[in-house]
Amino acid sequence: MKKSLIALAAGAFALGAAEFVMMGILPQTAQAMNVSIPQAGRFISAYAIGVCVGALMLVFGRKTPPKRLIILFLALIVIGNGCSALSTSAIALTMSRFIAGLPHGAFFGTAAYIAKSTARPDKQAQAVAVTITGQTLANMLGVPGGTLLAEYLSWRAAFAFLAVWGAATILLSLRWLPNLPPVPDSGLRGQFHFLKRRGPWVILLAVFTGNAGLFCWWSYVSPWLTQAGGWSSSALSALMVLAGFGMVVGGLAGGALCDRWRHAGTAALGQTISFLGLVAIFLIPGSKLGSAILTFWVAFGLFFVSTPQQILMVDAGQGGGELIGGATIQVAFNLGNAVGSMLGGAALSATGMDYRFPALTGAPLALAAALLLLFYSHRLETKTDAVDRLQVVKV
């Protein structure tokens, strides 16, 4: 594995943990900030809104080499998570989470460009998948670790650890990232030229609706596991490891299939898996075994779609909009997170805190995402290089 991919994956780890750790420590932060569980959902939404705003940094940094951009984004990770650890009020924590989210979309857009640019043509999807694996490993190790810290020490320790990790990743990036030239400068407007076509908007709408549907339920996975699944709070860290393992396996499986088949078709398959999982959460009575299986199931589908969607948008932005194209995926992803968290909270409030109904609220949105991706694959992905990327296997 190239050392540059390790450095990028380390940065993705910090961002993935910062984004998802709040789901594991939501009860502790809500209690510490004197707010209810639905109100604490704003800490999740604030990060997601920061992602959307932060992507604009790439508009003004188009002449900056990708390596310098990555260093800037990592510095914001340190600042945002450090401030989160020191927050003493709900407002301060909300603002700190917003700052922590600023580099997210811009980082992944730039990291995907670096990974794709330094990989062989037949390994580009897997190179991007390795980078995203840092985010999935964060859910397998970082999020459960943060849940353990919140359970036995303090939720603040989780954010402090991420600030230190971000600082260490700056050193790795300075040493290992290649000095690639800036993307072709097509001017301020030229970066968004690809958005004049229909295809990118179909992908972005699919990402938004898919993640809004999933995060209706995923934002409240911790209380769902205890209330509907019957698990104790001390078991949540192990269940977050299980969820993270599902994300790792899903991300790698999606990347491997993406190198051999249609990108949008691969993403549609992942969204279908997630939709079926949400339906099952609502229909199947709560139990420890069932809740554990469904947690793995939905987590698998959640990251199965990441690599194909990321590559679709990087490719769509060719000619100067590659970084913006990659970043828009994260904007749509996290905008969907923010909306999904609010919809899930509204479903909880409307049903007397019945933790099955966020899944029911999100299922139609996940289905809509799968249908959009199928439409894209059928109508706009008819001429691909999928056949050229097939590998001959001699028996």
208 pLDDT more than 90 = yes
**Which pLDDT score, from 0 to 100, does residue 147 have?**
78
Most confident by average pLDDT, 23-37, 80-94, 188-202, 259-273: 80-94
Geometric angle at alpha carbon 341, from 336 and 344, rounded to 5°: 120
Q: Which domains occur in the chain, in start order?
A: 1-177 (1.20.1250.20), 188-386 (1.20.1250.20)
**Which pLDDT score, from 0 to 100, does residue 297 have?**
94
**Which pLDDT score, from 0 to 100, does residue 74 have?**
96
List all residues 6 or more positions away from 283 whose beta carbon is below 8 Å from its beta carbon: none
**Which pLDDT score, from 0 to 100, does residue 354 have?**
87
19 pLDDT more than 80 = yes
**Strand ranges for 182-229 from DSSP E:** none
Q: Give the pLDDT confidence of 6-18 residue by residue, as tens digits.
A: 999 999 999 989 9
**Which pLDDT score, from 0 to 100, does residue 87 have?**
93
Q: Give the pLDDT confidence of 110-155 residue by residue, as tens digits.
A: 888 898 888 877 777 788 888 888 887 887 887 778 878 888 889 9
Mean residue pLDDT of the chain comes to: 86
Query: What pTM was computed for the model?
Result: 0.75
Q: Give the pLDDT confidence of 67-106 residue by residue, as tens digits.
A: 999 999 999 999 999 999 999 999 999 999 999 999 988 8
Q: In the chain, what is the straight-line distance between the N-terminal and C-terminal CA atoms, in Å? A: 28
List all residues 6 or more positions away from 248 whose beta carbon is below 8 Å from its beta carbon: 133, 136, 137, 139, 140, 303
Q: Using 50, 70 and 90 to split pLDDT, how confident is the model at 243?
A: confident
What is the sign, positive or negative, of the torsion defined by CA atoms of 47, 280, 346, 209?
A: positive
